[in-house]
Amino acid sequence: MHPALRAYQAVAETSLSGREAEAACFTMMINELTAAEQDHALRFKALDRHQKLWSLIMKANIVDSGQNPSDDRVLIVNLADKAQRYGIQAILDSALSLQPLIDIAQDVLDGLLAQ
């Protein structure tokens, strides 16, 4: 099981709301990507987790069954697609900065914390 999903489930089983659990996942992803930006040995592991997290988010919004407004789902799926595309480029080009991925995750986290 993916560590971010395991962390998500562990957090979700506590008294945290779903939004708080999602915020915890993005906080962990930001921390891991930031560390990987400084430590090349962590880069592949962080990018692998990044790809898996966004894949889970995309899947959840594709099979949403109408729980979220369609416009929100489209926005999230498009964001996941862009994050994953850049992540693939970063996997293939080790000189590519991880900062755009950190920025995307931070924007999502800010949105989660604002509501």
- For position 88, what pLDDT does the model report? 96
For 49, how many CA atoms within 13 A lie in the half-sphere containing its CB?
22
Q: 113 falls in which pLDDT band (50, 70, 90)?
A: confident
Q: Is the dihedral of CA 45, 80, 63, 31 positive or negative?
A: positive
Is 46:98 a contact under the CB 8 Å cutoff? yes
- Find out whether 3 and 64 touch, Cβ atoms under 8 Å: no
Range of the domain at 98: 3-114
Name the residue with higher pLDDT: 21 or 100.
100
pTM of this structure: 0.78
**Radius of gyration of the CA atoms of the chain, in A:** 14
Q: Considering its fold, how many domains does the chain have in total?
A: 1
